[in-house]
Homo-oligomer: A and B are copies of this chain.
Amino acid sequence: MAPRKPKPRNDRKSRTRQALLDAALKLVADNHSFGSLSLREVTREVGVVPAAFYRHFRDMEELGLELVEESFRNLRELLRTARAAPFPDERIVRQSVDVFLSAARENRLYFEFVGRERFGGTSLIRSAIQKEIRLIVSELATDLGRFAPPGRWTTEDLQMLAGLMVNAMVAVIEQYLDAGARPSAEAEIRKNAEKQLRLIVLGAMQWKSSGS
């Protein structure tokens, strides 16, 4: 049987594709890991027949990789604006934590997806995510290099510092997401995050390069 309701085929070119992505994202956040999410569940959520999936993606994996890209497109956009910043003193620490936490709040589903698949997913998806994160670390490292007294910081050490910072923030975000966004927990987590960053900055100011 042909479809009875002509389904106005809205303005945009192909909304179903985006609907599939959104549905997958929602289902991953709701229930289980992406790996144990079936093609049929996704199409069912969208309200479309399973075969229609193949008009947009070859695979569930292809959809997953697309989700990774979407996630980091948002995040990188955000970091680019936040990167025009002064020397990392007290204020910048507080601001940075704010930026990350509010980003996590607004793009919760994307962050949850990335958090789940960072280590849990298929190896293709895993390495895609790792690559993106390494890129963020590198960008932060060159940024930090601008404020560092030249000579005291090797490129390697800057990477190390950036890695430490990013790891701390990632851990904070995952802690925040796991807390179900209870506002009471958020205040606690925010305070903790600021302290951790402050301590790292403190250590960095005392740092002397790898010798000894």
Q: Which residues of A contact B (CB under 8 A)?
A: 32-33, 35-36, 90, 115-122, 126, 130, 157, 160-161, 163-164, 167-168, 171, 174, 178, 191-192, 195-196, 199-207, 210, 212
Say how far A85's CB is from chain B's closest CB, in angstroms.
20
Q: Report yes or no: B119 in contact with A119, Cβ–Cβ below 8 A.
A: yes
Counting every copy of the chain, the complex holds 2
What are 16 of the A-B contact pairs (CB < 8 Å)?
A32-B35, A33-B36, A90-B212, A119-B119, A119-B174, A120-B121, A160-B196, A161-B199, A163-B171, A163-B196, A164-B168, A164-B200, A167-B171, A168-B168, A171-B171, A200-B203
Cα separation A87 to B73 with both chains bound (whole Å): 45
Q: Report yes or no: B35 in contact with A178, Cβ–Cβ below 8 A.
A: no
Q: A119-B174, A161-B199 are in contact. List 9 more A-B contacts (CB 8 A).
A: A33-B35, A33-B36, A36-B36, A119-B120, A160-B192, A163-B196, A199-B207, A200-B200, A203-B203
Cα separation A36 to B122 with both chains bound (whole Å): 11
